Amino acid sequence: MVLPLSDDNSGRSSIPIVTWSIILLNVVVFFVLQGSGANTEFTYAYSTVPAEIVSDRDLVTENRIVRETNQHGHVDQYETPGLQPTPIPVYLTLVTSMFMHGGLMHLMGNMWFLWIFGDNIEHDMGPFRYIVFYLLCGIVASLAHVLLNTSGPNAEIPCLGASGAISAVMGAYLILHPKRRVTVLLLRVVTQVPGYVAVGLWFLFQVVSGLATGGGTAAGIAYGAHIGGFVIGAMFAIPFMAGRPKSR
């Protein structure tokens, strides 16, 4: 696994206000509205539930025991709170879920990747196009997860997190900055690699893990959303750059 540590920001003169604002919003939602993860009633009300999206109706359930097969082939079992009433149309959870996280490490990991790669894409596209790109790709990534889980044990399990949208940012980074130097931790060694290696290895891991799970979800990780977000981000990178100068 490759862990990005930083990238070359030479040539980027603009302040990434949108990226910083998204990070701040995610932090505020987690610590204030989600109560650092303790407010499960809020979290389970505003997360994306595949069965709700497919049926276009709000589901309310009791606590349940969930069994998942992790990437090592072992079966994990844990109890989840029941689904809570959703006070907004269920389709809007495709947006609200993008700003919530399942735990502190989930939040920190996502925001770290956004901090490294988001500023470059914001500089490329400009603030307005970037926020549209981020939200649109995040929604598509969530829909990819929904399509992979329309039935079965994952259909009524809430999905949340910024991973899909951030995966799209990384997909755009692959297209727009394939040769930009990225400092990474690779096999316990800190080194510099081109952008296509840094994000390419990450994407390869998502694909392999997604295929290994069969349905694209394991150990609480929605690999389908990661893959869908990355692909749509790569596809939309050039169209969202229309009329703007391309930086290296």
pLDDT tens digit at each of 248 positions of the chain: 789 999 998 877 789 999 999 999 999 999 999 999 899 889 989 999 999 999 988 887 766 666 666 556 666 665 566 777 899 999 999 999 999 999 999 999 999 999 999 999 999 999 999 999 999 999 999 999 999 888 777 788 889 999 999 999 999 999 999 999 999 998 889 999 999 999 999 999 888 877 776 655 655 678 889 999 999 999 999 999 987 776 65
pTM score: 0.88
CATH code of the domain occupying 2-241: 1.20.1540.10
Distance CA 78, CA 2 (A): 29
Contact 114, 166 (CB under 8 A): yes
Distance CA 101, CA 136 (A): 19
SS3 182: strand
Q: Which tokens hold the place of 221?
A: 């990780």
Distance CA 130, CA 122 (A): 5
DSSP state of 229: H
DSSP state of 120: H
DSSP state of 48: B
